[in-house]
Amino acid sequence: AQSVSQHNHHVILSEAASLELGCNYSYGGTVNLFWYVQYPGQHLQLLLKYFSGDPLVKGIKGFEAEFIKSKFSFNLRKPSVQWSDTAEYFCAVNAGGNKLVFGAGTILRVKS
Amino acid sequence: EAGVAQSPRYKIIEKRQSVAFWCNPISGHATLYWYQQILGQGPKLLIQFQNNGVVDDSQLPKDRFSAERLKGVDSTLKIQPAKLEDSAVYLCASSSTSGYNEQFFGPGTRLTVL
């Protein structure tokens, strides 16, 4: 069965610090990879996705993620975080049938 | 475009009671999903519908959970009888069938079982 592992459950950063959230998945075949974000009091929403092609994908609000197939990883990055990036971030994998398997999430708090 | 609607937003019940949640997907979306999100965990798929047919219900505890989507539009998820461990947020999502199917999530129903 597919599984997704997110390395940190809580991350605290100061504004303007760089962000990298780790995500590893277990599945040997072709996958689609996603990062979802849930801002306080809001719905889960798609941040970015990878299907194929350029392994560096760019999403909304300055986020990007790099797919490294050999490492089964899909880490999320942002060069300079803002207070408004405070949210919970979920990595997810779709290994077939449009069924998403989510990681446990990382709660990011950005101090102003 | 209206998003995915869910009701109620919050529900508190005692164990062994029954409860039902309602979801109305984005108009025209053929695929509907119910997820369970326990505190500290990511969402877990319970059931996936394509129109009014079940595509995947492998993780639905069928002895107590049931779901239906009779007319291929809105859906209800029921728990009967509820257990303490059913306390969670129940998320509904929908997607279209054209190309890759991005899933759009509703606000969820937070269930507390006492």
Whether B43 sits inside 8 A of A102 (CB atoms) is yes
Write out residues 23-82 of A within 8 Å (CB-CB) of B. Answer: 32, 36, 43-46, 49, 51
**Per-residue tens of pLDDT for chain B, all 114 residues:** 689 999 999 999 999 999 999 999 999 999 999 999 999 999 999 999 999 899 999 999 999 999 999 888 999 999 999 999 999 999 999 998 755 678 999 999 999 999
pLDDT of res. B1: 63
Name the residue of chain A whose CA is nearest to B106's CA.
A43
Report how far apart, in Å, the C-alpha atoms of A18 and of each of A50, A62, A71, A82, B15 are: 22, 12, 22, 10, 45
- Per-residue pLDDT tens over the stretch A3-59: 999 988 999 999 999 999 999 999 877 889 999 999 999 999 999 999 889 999 999
